A = this chain, B = another copy of it.
Amino acid sequence: MDDRKKTILKAIVDDYVRTCEPVGSKSLVERYNLNYSSATIRNEMAELEEMGFLVKPHTSAGRMPSDKGYRAYVDNLLSLPEIPPEEEIAVRHFLTENLREAREMIERTAEYLAEKTNYLSVVLSPQYSDTSLEQIKIMMIEPGRAIVVLVLSPGVVHDRLIRIPSLIDEKDLNEIGQAIERCLAGKRLNDITLVTISSAAEETELPEALVNQVLYEAYVAIKQTERIEVYIDGKYRLLKHPEFRDVDRASRFYDTMRQEQMVAGYMRELEQEEEINAAEGLDTLEKIESAPGALATRKDRPAYMVRIGQEIALNGMEDMSFITTTYRIGRRISGQIGVIGPKRMEYGNIISQISFVNKALSDVAEDHYTLGGDRQTLED
């Protein structure tokens, strides 16, 4: 594909993204003052169509990008706008203002991204399986009920109510809690199983039946912290885009989005591919006139991955695009960030935004986790 074809393809995608209407040769020449006549463009467009990058809704209409067209655009033609540096201060403030719990930071990331992109955002809570358990405390609430508080090594706190045998009193419970802590503290969550936890039973002299129930409940509580939470924001925003005029299609999409765990699973699956794809991307990148700086800035950005239309293995997403990226906090903790919008999406802008937010979240979270409780300044 020669440079002129690229320029034309880029112009067509840009125009179609803007107007949501098939673009014709003449108006293309006018709007992007290309130095050729419309007839030339027509010939090029016919070739691009033959190559599979463009489609026509009917014989005498203009062209619109095919999935393959979008793919080429995203892989090679994109220009990524810079985010102004003052925005960095703003987003950090937004993510940490009055922050109490780690989950709020994730929630706010989703909110910020939906707001900035005007599409739907999905953020997954970090996967903690690779981190270790620091503390575990079990506290009596009333006979038969207790609360388990877990502290993970990056300073993350989880808790959960449990049922315990009514016969256990506060002293016994403390003892069991300490036994568990001695036995598990420092272990990776991944390595904690029903077997490892039951060795705590040997440290106490309480009747085994009583202890076992508590151990089991504690185990469930620990495993619970490995569950991935899904934060979705901006669902309703998609309604404002013209491709959602078709209510049936919209309904099908929302039916899928409701199954949050499925969406989350899909995002995690993509993580590996993402790495590979990003590396390839850097090799085959080509700088073209209309996208100055694309290559230069891209190297600084976190890797991202774009899935277009049919490439998305989820129902009802045939007309959508899904951009994902992985945030990292330290070496061990990572989670996913995504934006879902119509295929006709401002790819450059969204990719800039998602990369930017990724970086902000990773940085802020790292500060927060490593500095722990001493960062009083973050509080207001």
* Cβ contacts under 8 Å, A101 to chain B: 161
10 closest A-B pairs by beta carbon, nearest first, are: A144-B373, A145-B373, A236-B254, A100-B161, A141-B151, A239-B251, A101-B161, A144-B374, A240-B251, A239-B247
Q: Interface size class for chain A?
A: 35 or more
Chain B's closest residue to A250 (CB) is B239
Stretch at the interface among A152-160, A278-286, A295-303, A352-360: A152-160
- Verify if A372 is at the interface (C-beta below 8 Å from B): yes
Q: Of B145, B149, B250, which contacts A372 at CB under 8 A?
A: B145
Chain A 249-263, CB-CB to B under 8 Å as 1, else 0, gives 011001100100000
The reply on A288 being an interface residue by CB < 8 A is no
Shortest CB-to-CB span from A41 to chain B, Å, is 34
| Complex partner residue of A151 from B135, B142, B164, B254, CB under 8 angstroms | B142
Given contacts A141-B135, A239-B250, contact A149 B151 (CB under 8 A): no
Whether a CB of chain B sits under 8 angstroms from the CB of A143 is yes
Q: How far is the CA of A251 from the CA of B236 in the complex (A)?
A: 7
Closest to A224 in B: B100
Q: What's the Cα separation between A254 and B159 when bound, in Å?
A: 33
Report yes or no: A163 in contact with B254, Cβ–Cβ below 8 A. no
Which residues of A line the B interface, CB within 8 A? 100-101, 135, 137, 139, 141-145, 147, 149, 151, 155, 157, 159-164, 166, 235-236, 239-240, 244-245, 247, 250-251, 254-255, 258, 372-374, 376, 379
Distance in Å from the Cβ of A107 to the closest Cβ of chain B?
Answer: 14
How far is A61 from B137 in the complex, measured between Cα atoms in Å? 71
Given contacts A142-B155, A145-B373, 9 further A-B contacts (CB under 8 A): A100-B161, A100-B162, A141-B157, A144-B374, A149-B149, A157-B161, A166-B373, A236-B255, A244-B247
Q: Please give the distance in Å from A217's CB to the nearest CB on chain B.
A: 10
Chain B residues in 8 Å Cβ range of A236:
235, 251, 254-255, 258
Min Cβ gap A15→B in Å is 24
Q: By the criterion CB–CB under 8 Å, are B142 and A373 in contact?
A: yes
B139, A137: Cβ atoms under 8 Å?
yes
CA distance in complex: A157, B100 (Å): 18
Whole-angstrom distance from the CB of A279 to the nearest CB of chain B?
Answer: 38
A99, chain B: closest CB distance, angstroms: 10
Known: A240-B251, A247-B240, A374-B166. A147 touches B149 (CB 8 A): yes
Inter-chain CA distance A239–B141, complex, in Å, is: 44
A144 — which chain B residues lie within 8 A by C-beta? 372-374, 376
Given A139-B137, A149-B147: A163 and B239 interface contact (C-beta under 8 Å):
no
Question: Which B-chain residue is minimally distant from A254 (CB atoms)?
Answer: B236
Write out the residue numbers on chain B whose beta carbons fall within 8 Å of the beta carbon of A247. Answer: 239-240, 244-245, 247
